């Protein structure tokens, strides 16, 4: 028996058959709104049920409930508003109750929005609640403050499933659930990453796998910061490390086509909700999950789960302390397992790996496996 999706129903807003053809016909004569890559990924997430129970972009009451109570509706946790914005001039041309064709960044009509609401929100309050900062040095804050003047709400009918690089690994929640069923996995732990897997990641994923039947390595492949390692390089790293160091009967690689918001604690909650929709029963929450810069405390993403009703969340977070390679132990450990001092510890992070690569240095074995290091250095020095 698979885990129920968030909100009880796995949403599917992707049109097919006659409904798709009829929508294409209507879209040709509808007013249009051009959306950016970020919004296009959000449309795709709504379409495929990744954002279940959302059926469209949020209205004002939902946004305020998420900001103030971390609920999208009573008893249904949600941590980050999903917003569509337009300029005032554009919004003035749209009529409540009517349809709008959304043209994506690839020039296609991706969806039809039935406009239910036009509204404004205090953006300073919004970013302070969601990102815990108003600094425009935070990428999520900068994006939110730079959105159009007016927010648009309404259900979506989606005409196009978005394709991305490595589309063969871009499984929908319906597909991952079917794969878990086929494999006979009942307890599935998800690992969220936007970096190549280094030794600390390997350690905590394998610790978590000891408690579960299967591990879903589920890298985020939506929009990320410009200095994050490109998706094709990361994919080569994931495939290599799985090939050499993970048990194939208990490990699965799939992509998550979701934007990186860098919202730290609140994004950790969102990552849990999303993985529940994919059919996972557990999710790894490590050090500074979904963080950026110095905006969040090391374990803020652990503590926020104390504010969420566990039954309503419906997926179990597995918390890990900062792990490291211990030269005295000769292997990976954490402050719970290793008795040695900091002088023996090699602390690992994606940031440190990127710094070494930028300097043309091969990451050592204490950082990452040699197969991964080879891929990374070849990319960095190309």
Residues annotated as catalytic (active site), given as ranges: 194-195
Report how far residue 284's alpha carbon sits from residue 271's, in angstroms, rounded to the nearest whole number.
10
Could you give the maximum distance between any two Cα atoms of the chain, in Å? 70
Angle at 15 between CA 9 and CA 21, to 5 degrees: 160
**Three-state SS for 33?**
strand
Between β-strands 214-219 and 251-253, what pairing exists: parallel, antiparallel or unpaired? parallel
- Nearest C-alpha neighbor of 317 from the set 352, 274, 373: 274
Would you state the torsion angle of the CA atoms of residues 295, 296, 297, 301, taken in this order, to the nearest 10 degrees?
A: -170
Would you state the torsion angle of the CA atoms of residues 134, 119, 43, 31, taken in this order, to the nearest 10 degrees?
A: -130
Could you please report the per-residue DSSP string of 285-299?
E-TTTT--TTSS-TT
């Amino acid at each position: 028996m698979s885990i129920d999706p968030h909100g009880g129903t796995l949403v599917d807003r992707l049109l097919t058959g006659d409904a798709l053809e009829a929508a294409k016909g209507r879209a040709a004569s509808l007013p249009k709104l051009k959306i950016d890559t970020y919004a296009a990924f959000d449309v795709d997430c709504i379409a495929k049920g990744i954002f279940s129970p959302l059926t469209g972009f949020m209205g004002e009451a939902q946004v305020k409930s998420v900001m103030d109570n971390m609920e999208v509706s009573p008893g249904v946790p949600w941590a980050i508003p999903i917003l569509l914005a337009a300029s005032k001039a554009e919004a003035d041309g749209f009529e409540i109750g009517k349809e709008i064709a959304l043209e994506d960044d690839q020039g296609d009509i991706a969806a039809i929005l039935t406009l239910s609401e036009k509204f404004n929100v205090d953006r300073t309050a919004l970013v302070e609640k969601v990102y815990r900062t108003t600094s425009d040095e935070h990428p999520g804050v900068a994006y939110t403050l730079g959105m159009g003047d007016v927010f648009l709400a309404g259900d979506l009918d989606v005409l196009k499933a978005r394709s991305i690089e490595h589309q063969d690994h871009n499984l929908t929640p319906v597909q991952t659930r079917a794969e878990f069923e086929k494999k006979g996995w009942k307890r599935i732990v998800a690992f969220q990453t936007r970096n190549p897997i280094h030794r600390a990641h390997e350690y905590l994923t394998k610790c978590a796998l000891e408690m579960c039947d299967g591990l879903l390595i589920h890298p985020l492949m939506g929009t990320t910061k410009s200095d994050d390692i490109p998706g094709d390089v990361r994919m080569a790293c994931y495939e290599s490390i799985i090939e050499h160091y993970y048990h194939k009967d208990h490990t699965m690689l799939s992509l998550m086509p979701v934007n990186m918001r860098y919202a730290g604690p609140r994004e950790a909650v969102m990552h849990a909700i999303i993985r529940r929709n994919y059919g996972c029963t557990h999710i790894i929450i490590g050090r500074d999950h979904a963080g950026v810069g110095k905006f969040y405390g090391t374990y803020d993403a652990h503590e926020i789960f104390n504010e969420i009703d566990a039954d309503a969340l419906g997926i179990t977070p597995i918390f890990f302390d900062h792990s490291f390679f211990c030269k005295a132990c000769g292997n990976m450990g954490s402050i719970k397992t290793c008795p040695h001092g900091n002088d023996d510890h090699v602390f690992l992070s994606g940031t440190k790996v990127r710094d070494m690569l930028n300097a043309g240095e091969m990451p050592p074995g204490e950082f990452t496996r040699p197969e991964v290091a080879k891929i990374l250095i070849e990319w960095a020095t190309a």
